[in-house]
Structure 1
């Protein structure tokens, strides 16, 4: 069966639908969605904070799209992280490529508090190759 990069996500809390999120971005989208989810759940960030947090992606595995490039040990990361993090990655054998700011991730998310019904939404200010594009989130 052919592999696909489409991966919208639905998270449950207490056995109830809680949050939907997704991203465009080919091979990187699952990586960015995981980072978003961990920032939201483990680090208690709001949806917008979790979306806007610095992102990174591994280019280690063969790409989905032709010509299926593979760049062993390469990590692409936004510059809004500390030098300590960059040095730590390098010391562990990663080839660290610091990209343009706001260049990793294109996330949208919405969550509903099942008790209050309040909706929380967020959208990514990032765009292709670091260009900021207009994004919006709307709920009713």
Structure 2
């Protein structure tokens, strides 16, 4: 079986990002291990995912240098980068609003499901989607 395992997401700080993605977006911390790479002290392998059974997770990578730091929050040039699927759309919207997540517009119905664009702490744009019935 093949599947997409991880997507790298540049962040300014590991612990701040872990706290945000777990406590605000409700992800689970799957891994937080030290990486011993010469010249890069305190590098870590940090993986979060929407749940333990998710096939795809985010590898939270601390930005290293000016070029990567400039890309934090804008890795896709302003396009929606991530698509978070849910079967509890209204509940998730309420919880995210209460947690202070930025919503870009109101939820809308599209042929593929209910969707709203949100922005995470760093400015990355996400579609929160409840897929339409098959």
TM over 0.5, shorter chain: no
Shorter-chain TM range is under 0.3
Higher helix share: 1
Normalised TM-score (structure 1): 0.25
The structure that is strand-richer by fraction is 2
